[in-house]
Amino acid sequence: MTEITSFNNLGACHHLVDIEMRASEIKKIRKVLKWSYRKFSEETGIHYNTIYRWEKGLYQPSHLAIRLMEQLKQSCIAKGLLKDK
- Per-residue model confidence as pLDDT tens digits over 39-52: 999 999 999 999 99
pTM above 0.85, yes or no: no
Residue 35 has pLDDT above 50, yes or no: yes
Asked if 30 and 40 count as a contact pair (C-beta separation under 8 A), the reply is yes
Instruction: Give CA–CA dist 26/11, Å, rounded.
Output: 23
Torsion of CA 9, 12, 18, 23, to 10 degrees: -130
The CA-to-CA distance between both ends of the chain, in Å, stands at: 24
